[in-house]
Structure 1
Amino acid sequence: MTTKLSLANLDAIRATAAVPAYERSDLKAGIIHFGVGNFHRAHQAIYLDDLFNTGRGHDWAIIGAGVLPSDETMRSKLAEQDYLTTVVEQDNNKSAARVTGPMIGYLSPGNPQATTARLADPAIRIVSLTITEGGYFIDPASGLFNPNHPAIVADAENPDAPKTVFGLIIAGLKLRKERGIPPFTVMSCDNIPGNGEVTHAAVSGLARLSDASLAEWIDANVAFPNAMVDRITPATGPREIGIAASDYAIDDNWPVFCEEFKQWVLEDKFTAGRPALEDVGVQFVPDVAPYEHMKIRILNGGHAAIAYPAALLDIHFVHDAMEEPIIQAFLDKLEHDEIIPIVPPVPNTNLHDYFKLVEKRLLNPKIGDTIPRLAQDGSNRQPKFILPSTADRLKRGEDVVGLSLVSALWCRYFEGTTDSGKPITFNDASADRLREAALKAKDNPDAFLALSDIFGEVAKSDLFRRRFAHALQTLWSKGTRATLQLYLDGHLGD
């Protein structure tokens, strides 16, 4: 028998899961968060829940917000359970559930006027974001804000009726400026190098298209701290809903499952104050960049590296991929030979020990993280997680056999079938043009590298083009497993 998750039922749920030690009625909103997905609820919301459990920071509760139709689905599911979430933390040897309650409301994505009004509320001092790597309107090749994106152009032409997150943020800041209310901090929690700077470029860049004076005010007054965030958090499906019910007797519309490990490294740069997150494990540092590079290149780059060979070998779960000796050996060689050597030093951190921790996390069978999740949205992830390492090595005159193989595996994946002939389901906004280019690349490898908005200057390297072409042709002639073995034996570059 299960108990429906709600404030009224917390006493009953206490028997199988930890519940908030604070009264929800004591909380007051201080943060609006755009993009209430699983990662946010397993990360930022957890840190706030920890803080609130100490009896402090109760004026920093979260109001959710969104702009997409899918955000309405999340809003309605969470509203049915008083915005509570069951978070199941799973290590290799243990699992535990907790109910978190730092969210006290959720603005409807269908009512941008209400969202703008709430953004102008003086009580709101932070606006945070987890809108995925693809949500920042970045040109993949240049890494810069793209003012010509149709959604940005539309918001610039209609600033009083915004449809993007950044348009809404600007509308809220404009009201605060007009009313003499100090601005809020805009805090990105997405996996993007220099995410604060990228967010600043998007907000200021969009504002400048319609109101140069507002953009100047934003530049002078609004803080955009950089951050590194980390916690492996797979998507929720029937499996996770079923485990919450069978193991913890909780009927949760959308529980979150995650690993035990979590990390948040943050610049201490806030416009109007912040919660005392340092008391619950957040690292405040003057420069986030070393931590970002480490995480994005080693962990996220590792995710991107194993996603496509695993998919081509019909492997569904990440831990199963890491238990496949040839994939684990491929990742180990790629990281130690080509990625880790170009990651800048990180304070008080041994990069090889960090990679050992990454391997342990990827081998966790309880998480149930999937290869399809790692393989999705490659058109945004490859330029952020893989190609920067390739570009750095090329600039140093160093070889890129393994990194070129990663790009070739991505191309081979977009042909649309696995090595055994099973069809592949794509999850990428650019899937159609990627597949078209991948099919052409079977005879002409340069056709895939012609996606200049993705490969940029890297595709102009003769060495990279040769390595990519050889790897792709080997994948087609010998298959994924044999190609990986050639790489491990040191013969793929021959």
Structure 2
Amino acid sequence: MTVKLSLGTLAALPAGVAKPRYERGRLSPGILHFGVGNFHRSHQAVYLDELFNAGIGHDWALVGAGVFEGERPNRDKLIEQDWLTTVVEQDEDHIGARVTGAMVDFIMPGDTAAIIGRLADPAIRIVSLTITEGGYFIDPASGHFDPTHPGIVTDAANIASPKTVFGLILAGLMRRRTAGIVHFTVMSCDNIPHNGRVTADGVIGLARLVDDELADWVAQTVAFPNSMVDRITPATTDRERAILAEDFGVEDNWPVFCEPFRQWVLEDHFTAGRPPLEQAGVQFVTDVAPYELMKIRILNGGHAAIAYPAGLMDIHFVHEAMQENLVRDFLAKVEHEEIIPTVPPVPDTSLEDYYQLIEKRFSNPKIGDTVRRLCLDGSNRQPKFIIPTIVDRLKAGKCIAGLALESALWCRYCFGTTDSGTAIEPNDPNWDRMQATAKAARSDPAAWLAMEDIYGEVGQSAIFSAAFAAALRNLWANGARETLRRYLSNP
């Protein structure tokens, strides 16, 4: 028999499920969060839940805010259970479930007036974001904010009724400024290099379109701390809901399954105070950049390296990809020969130990992370996780054979069929463009590299172009398995 999750049933949950040790009614909001998804609920919300369990920081509870209509179904799932979430951590040696209660409200997607009103509330001292790479309006080729994006142009013309996250943030800051309320800190928790700076560029760039003096005020007074966040958290399916019900006796509309490992490195730069997150394991530093670069290149770049060959081989789960020697050995070779050498030293960290940890995490058979999730949104992810490494290797005159093969594997994946001929469903916001370009690249590999907004100067490199073309031709002639086998046989 299962217990349906809600505040009223907390006491009835099975003994093996950890429950909040604080009274939810005593929490008050201090953080408004855009992008209430699985990662946020397995990461930031868990850190806050641990803090609250220790009897600390009860005035820093979370309020979710929805921007897109597609967020409504998940909001409906959460409101049914009083905003509670069951977080299940598991690996080969451990499985445990806990109910977290750090969220106390979730503003309806599209309710602009309510969101701006809450942003103007002096109690809200931090606005945090997990809106994914595509939500920052970054021009992939330059890496800078794109002020010509239609959503930004529309918000600039009607900042009193914005539609984008940056527009809402700016509207909230403007209202606080007018009312003389101390401005909130804007804290990105997305996997983007220099995420604080990128967020600042977006908010300030939008403000510049509205009023130069407003933009100068934001630049001079609002804090945008950089952060590095890490926890592998796959999407929730009926599989996860069934495991939770069968193994723990809990019925949760939207549980989160994740690995036990988590990390949060954060700059201590806040203008209106912050919760004492160091007491829950957050590492506060003066410079996040070394940790961020290590994670983005070794972990996120590593995910890309295993994703596309596994996708072409019809492998479903990430741990199954790691059980395939060709994929695992490809990851190890490209990491050790091409990726890790571009990562500068990180304080108190062994890069080899970090890689070994990454390999173990990728191999975790319990969390059910899918290859398709890793393949998602390559048009936004590759310019951040792979192409900068290629740039560094080319500038240093070093080998790029493995990275060229990774890029060719991505191109081949975007063609839309696996090596067995199975159709690949659209898996990128720009899928139509990516598929059309991949089809053109089958006979003319240069067509793929001609996407300047993605490849920039890399696409103009004769060395990279030749390596990419050779790899892509090999993939079409021999398939992913044989192409990997030939790559791995070369010293």
| TM-score range relative to shorter protein | over 0.9
Give the aligned partner of residue 64 of structure 2: 64
- Greater displacement, 86-95 / 182-191: 86-95
Q: How far apart in 2 are the matches of 1:128 and 1:11? A: 31
- Per-residue Cα deviation, 1:112-151 (whole angstroms, up to 9, x for no partner): 0010010000000000000001110000111000001111
Give the aligned partner of residue 6 of structure 1: 6
Q: How far apart in 1 are the matches of 2:92 and 2:204? A: 44
- Per-residue Cα deviation, 1:404-439 (whole angstroms, up to 9, x for no partner): 000000001111111111111122111111111100
Preserved contact between residue 141 and residue 453 of structure 1 (Cα < 8 Å): yes
- Greater displacement, 211-220 / 402-411: 211-220
Aligned residues: 491
Preserved contact between residue 32 and residue 62 of structure 1 (Cα < 8 Å): yes
Give the aligned partner of residue 122 of structure 1: 122
Which runs of structure 2 are paired with 1:339-488 in the superposition (5 Å)? 339-488=339-488
Task: Provide structure 1 residue ranges, at least 5 long, that are not aligned to the other structure.
Answer: none
Amino acid at match of 1:374: L
Give the aligned partner of residue 291 of structure 1: 291
- Per-residue Cα deviation, 1:232-279 (whole angstroms, up to 9, x for no partner): 000000001111111111110000000000000000000100000001
Q: How far apart in 1 are the matches of 2:14 and 2:148? A: 52
SS in 1 for 2:115: helix
Which runs of structure 2 are paired with 1:263-278 in the superposition (5 Å)? 263-278=263-278
Give the aligned partner of residue 282 of structure 1: 282
Preserved contact between residue 14 and residue 248 of structure 2 (Cα < 8 Å): no
List 4+ stretches of structure 1 deviating above 2 A. none
SS in 1 for 2:89: strand
Deviation at 1:110, TM superposition (A): 2.5
Give the aligned partner of residue 300 of structure 2: 300
SS in 1 for 2:31: strand
Identity among equivalent pairs (%): 64
Amino acid at match of 1:280: A
Amino acid at match of 1:60: W
Q: How far apart in 2 are the matches of 1:178 and 1:194? A: 30
Which runs of structure 2 are paired with 1:95-106 in the superposition (5 Å)? 95-106=95-106
Amino acid at match of 2:287: D
- Per-residue Cα deviation, 1:389-409 (whole angstroms, up to 9, x for no partner): 001101111120000000000
Amino acid at match of 1:66: G
> What's the C-alpha RMSD, in Å, of the aligned pairs?
0.7
SS in 2 for 1:209: helix
TM-score, normalised to structure 2, is 0.99
Give the aligned partner of residue 22 of structure 2: 22
Task: Provide structure 2 residue ranges, at least 5 long, that are not aligned to the other structure.
Answer: none
SS in 2 for 1:139: coil
SS in 1 for 2:210: coil
1:193 aligns with 2:193: yes
1:315 aligns with 2:315: yes
1:325 aligns with 2:325: yes
- Per-residue Cα deviation, 1:33-86 (whole angstroms, up to 9, x for no partner): 000000000000000000000001000000000201122112111111000000
Give the aligned partner of residue 50 of structure 2: 50
Deviation at 1:486, TM superposition (A): 1.1
Deviation at 1:14, TM superposition (A): 4.6
Preserved contact between residue 188 and residue 199 of structure 1 (Cα < 8 Å): yes
Preserved contact between residue 176 and residue 182 of structure 1 (Cα < 8 Å): yes
Q: How far apart in 2 are the matches of 1:201 and 1:74? A: 30
Q: How far apart in 2 are the matches of 1:70 and 1:285? A: 36
Q: How far apart in 2 are the matches of 1:412 and 1:384? A: 20
Preserved contact between residue 16 and residue 249 of structure 1 (Cα < 8 Å): no
Preserved contact between residue 14 and residue 249 of structure 2 (Cα < 8 Å): no
TM-score, normalised to structure 1, is 0.99
1:180 aligns with 2:184: no
Q: How far apart in 1 are the matches of 2:477 and 2:377? A: 27
Deviation at 1:16, TM superposition (A): 2.9
SS in 1 for 2:436: helix
Q: How far apart in 2 are the matches of 1:10 and 1:234? A: 25
